[in-house]
Structure 1
Amino acid sequence: MSFRELHPNIKLRLGVGFVQRLLGIMLMPLMVIHLAALYGAATAGALTLAVAVAGIACNFLGGHLADVHGRKPLMVAGEIGATLTFGLLALANSPWWQSGAATFVLFLLNTCLASAATPAADAMMIDVSTPENRTLVYTINYWSINMAFTLGALIGGFFYGDHFALLLTAAAALSAATTLVTWWWIAESAPQYAKAQAAGVSAMLRGYLAVSRDRVFLRLMVAATFTRAVEVQIGYYIAVRLSDEFPEQALTGLERWFPAVDGVAMLGILRAVNTALVVVFALFAGSMFRRLSDRVRLYAGLVVFTAGYMVLAVSNSGWILIAAAVLMTLGEIANVPVKQALLADLVDPAARTKYLAAYGLNARVGLLVGSLCVSVGAFVSPVGMSLLYGAFGLGAILVYRSLLPLREARRSAAEQSEAGPADTERNDTGRNDTEAAEAARPAAAPAQNGATS
């Protein structure tokens, strides 16, 4: 399977998604900095928290609406909203009009509209992909995210000062372009049985209650939270430890460029190594790991990823830390696309966007664990923190170990139902083809879905 063979929706969504992430990464930190300059750090923190909470709420709302009304209406509405809010933000920060209140309200609206559209966009990628090409799709998407992160941070950092309004104007123009692409060329992909659902608040709450009872999905959430809790440590406990404990030193062979590196500089080097390796190697992950099954790739990737972070938690040698960063990045490249494909295969298609909206909570919980680890690290030795990371990694592997056989069973059932006769003759399992097809599909009632594992 090559990029050219992918569904047109996937190729267009990868491009549109890259632009969206580029703008988000470029402008989100700048909006916080701008609000802090206008109102002070304390007030800006409260305003940013309000925006984050509203974004989470709209993410859940969008997950329900996209299952009821389809993917495209939510995506188009999100793009139109981004275009209008970026344009008005540019006006509210122009030489002709300066309004802090308008800036905050528009920032809030922009975040809400983008968050509401996100589950629909994620679900569309699953709708039009297949189990055979999903690992490729998510590998490209993973590379795209990291490339957007790199370029967005650079552009925002260099042009913020006297060009904030210009950045917002450019964001409005790019959003207008992605609106046209989404409107004209991206086709609706929601399954018809998914769209035939009740609307209203009570229906939304019942839908998310059903998601919360799906034990298979809850296991996916637990495993993802374990890995996220390890991943965020470089910005939490590891960052604090390096700042406090890392002795200033020269990196042998790099003295000309880095005559003396302290803990903060070392952290920057580790982040740069991680980002550079992902951008360079992620697109080649398919060829790098083509001889490995998904099972081996996932397990080995998680082991290497966790081992890298365990070293980062204890070492004070510059080159050992760099080697650990290389190790954890290779593990990350190996396991992330497989985890995303596993999620896509196991969620109920009839409520796909609800599942994806709820799945996003693992990132929030991971950040919470990261914050707690800073406090725990004040009382626990680096070796103890390293062992804690190892426990998180082992927990993730054990949970995924229970999920992979379930996916294989569903794939086998689906293949048998497709290969069988079109009539209702009994197959060799004693069930007719209609029953086999139902078994292949994740249960419409998620609680039953979990009960089959």
Structure 2
Amino acid sequence: MRIRDLHKNIKIRLLTDFFISLTQMAIFPFMAIYFSSHLGAALAGILLMMNVAVSIVAGLLSGYLSDHLGRKKIMVLAEVFQVVALFVMMIANSPLFMSVWLTYFMFLFSNVSSSITGPVVNAMIVDVSTEEERTYIYGIGYWLGNISIALGAALGGLLFEEHRFLLFSLFFLVSVATLIVILFFIEESLVLKPSPGTTKKLNGGGFLQNYGKVLKDRRFMLFTLATVFVMSLEFQLDKYIAVRLKEEFHAVIFNVDITGIKMFSIIMLINTIVIVLLTLQLSKWLGQFDKKKVLTIGIVIYSISFSVLSISNSFSIIVLTAFLFTVGELIYSPVKQTILAGMIDDNARASYMAVDSLSYNVAMLLGSFGLTLGALIPASGMAFVYLCLGLAGLFCYRLAITDETTSKEINVSS
């Protein structure tokens, strides 16, 4: 399988998603520091929580509208929001004018744009791909996404503090280019079937009925719960595990003093290198195996690795475990997305993807709770909790893949 064999929409979205992710990672992670320094930590925390809440609503609304109005219209609308937000943020951080509050509201606007885009893009990929292609597509997307995250974080670190005007100017131009590409090159992927009831459906009752149907889908909700459990492990890495290493870890390797903070940086470096070097090769190789077995192996490796990271203070063991948890993630993540794509209702793909996106917000909250829990129980207790989270996620995934109500197994093999 080659990239040139994929649908035009997918090739375009892989490219534009790379730059969108680059933009987000160069700006979003630094906004908490920016708002805290200008408005105080307490108010900044409230504003950022409001941002998450609005983004959740925007994502759900975009999924509903996309399934009724089409993918391209919603994508164009979201990118127009992004262009406007970045333009105003650029002006509000220019040498002639500075406004923290205007920056915040445009940051909120930008987040809404990203939340709108996510479910629609995921639904479009399913629209124009086959089951055989999806593991490969998600593997490439995962690879490009992680490269953009690393580059965006580096670019933001260099420019955000002292050169925000330049940073926002660059990404304003990127957003304009993305809008042009979507307008003139992306094809509508949803075949709409007009009916007399279409207009009637686009109201509050239709919205609630739409998501009520999604929430009643037992298999999908089990799958979503599994994603919450497993993804919550990832959000422990920069919270409990990072804090524990800072407090407990110290080593001298080849006369070099390695503190806990440096050890955490090494873990992240190993993660990035492994992803860049192995993602595409693993994605192609794993495509020939049964997806249920691949998912199981990946999650088991991933869960055990996080349990070890929560208790070990050995340099060599942590390095090995950092490699293993990355490999486990590379094994299960693209396959998970492929299984999800084959599970959702074809008539409500964007709505399903919007609910799936919520699982990441819930997992993030669990990640934050893990930091509090870690202050109350010993490291061995956290290791047990991590293992239970991983196994609970695997159990829910297996239940979701096997439909017990009909005693038929979903076709998840290649």
TM bucket, shorter chain: over 0.9
Structure 1 residue 194: Cα displacement: 9.5
**Is residue 97 of structure 1 aligned with residue 97 of structure 2?**
yes
Residues 19, 148 of structure 2: 8 Å contact kept: yes
CA gap 1:77/1:291 in 2 versus in 1, 3 angstroms: closer
Q: Deviations over 1:135-160 (max 9, x none)?
A: 00110111111111100000000112
Question: Per-residue displacement from partner, 1:277-306 (whole Å, max 9, x unpaired)?
Answer: 112211211344355321221111111111
Aligned counterpart, 1:122: 122
* 8 A contact 2:136–2:284 mirrored in 1: no
Q: Which amino acid aligns with 1:208?
A: Y
Aligned to 2:7: 7
Selected match of 2:245 from 242, 250, 254: 242
- Show the counterpart of 2:332: 335
Q: How does 1:298-313 map to 2 (within 5 A)?
A: 298-313=295-310
Residue in structure 2 matched with residue 321 of structure 1 by the alignment = 318
Q: What is the rounded CA distance, in whole Å, between the counterparts of 2:194 and 2:178 in structure 1?
A: 26
Equivalent-residue separation in structure 1 for 2:194 and 2:332 (angstroms): 30
Segment of structure 1 superposing worse, 302-311 or 173-182: 302-311
Of 354, 373, 376 in structure 2, the residue corresponding to residue 379 of structure 1 is 376
Partner of 2:398: 401
Q: What is the correspondence of 1:1-400 to structure 2 with a 5 Å cutoff?
A: 1-193=1-193, 197=198, 198-246=201-249, 248-251=250-253, 254-255=254-255, 259-400=256-397
The answer to whether the Cα contact below 8 Å between 1:58 and 1:116 also exists between their aligned partners in 2 is yes
Contact residue 67 and residue 194 of structure 1 kept, 8 A: no
CA distance in 1, matches of 2:21, 2:194: 27
| Larger mean Cα displacement after TM superposition, 318-327 or 295-304 | 295-304
One-letter identity of the residue aligned with 1:392: L
Please say if residues 401 and 410 of structure 2, whose CA atoms lie closer than 8 Å, have aligned partners that are also in contact.
Answer: no
Once residues 402 and 99 of structure 1 are traced to their aligned partners in structure 2, the CA distance between those partners, rounded to angstroms, is 51
Partner SS state of residue 249, structure 1: strand
Which structure 2 residue ranges, 5 or more long, are not aligned?
A: none
- In 1, Cα distance between equivalents of 2:52 and 2:402: 37
Distance 1:26 1:108 in 2: 16
TM-score (structure 2 length as normaliser) = 0.93
The 1:153–1:378 alpha-carbon spacing in structure 2 relative to 1, beyond 3 Å, is same
In the TM superposition, residue 405 of structure 1 has moved relative to its aligned partner by 4.2
Alpha-carbon displacement from aligned partner over 1:287-345 (angstroms, at most 9, x marks no partner): 44355321221111111111111110111101110100101111100100000011111
Report if aligned partners of 1:194, 1:349 keep a CA contact under 8 Å in 2: no
Q: Distance in 2 between matches of 1:194 and 1:220?
A: 31
Distance 1:401 1:77 in 2: 38
Structure 1, unaligned runs of 5 or more:
416-453
Contact kept? 2:271, 2:322, Cα under 8 Å: yes
Instruction: Give the structure, 1 or 2, with the largest relative contact order (CA under 8 Å, sep 6 or more).
Output: 2
Q: What is the one-letter code of the residue matched to 2:273? A: A
CA distance in 1, matches of 2:217, 2:410: 16
Separation in structure 1 between the aligned mates of residue 96 and residue 15 of structure 2, nearest angstrom: 34
Residues 404-441 of structure 1 show CA distances to partners (whole Å, capped at 9, x for unaligned) of 345985559xx9xxxxxxxxxxxxxxxxxxxxxxxxxx
Instruction: Measure how far apart 1:193 and its partner are.
Output: 4.6
Amino acid paired to 1:280: L
CA contact (8 A) 1:226 1:396 kept: yes
Count residues with an aligned counterpart. 407
Deviates more, 1:194-203 or 1:345-354: 194-203
How far is 1:101 from its partner? 2.3
The separation in 1 between residues aligned to 2:160 and 2:339, in whole angstroms, is 40
Give, in angstroms, the shift of residue 347 of structure 1.
0.7
Amino acid across the alignment from 2:81: G
Give TM-score, length-normalised by structure 1: 0.86
CA contact (8 A) 2:135 2:287 kept: no
Give SS of 1:187's match. Answer: coil
Separation in 2, partners of 1:290, 1:113: 33
- Cα deviation 1:174-230 (Å, max 9, x = unaligned): 001110111111100113259985211211111111111111111111111111122
What displacement does 1:94 show? 0.8
Deviation at 1:234, TM superposition (A): 1.0
Give the share of equivalent positions with the same residue, in percent.
Answer: 33
How much has 1:41 moved relative to structure 2?
A: 2.3
Q: Does the CA-based 8 Å contact 2:63-2:120 persist in structure 1?
A: yes
Distance 1:299 1:60 in 2: 30
Query: What is the Cα deviation at residue 162 of structure 1?
Result: 2.6
Larger Rg: 1
Distance 2:55 2:295 in 1: 31
Q: Kindly report the root-mean-square deviation, in angstroms, between the aligned alpha carbons of the 2 structures.
A: 2.0
Deviation at 1:371, TM superposition (A): 2.1
Contact 2:220 2:400 in 1 (8 A): no
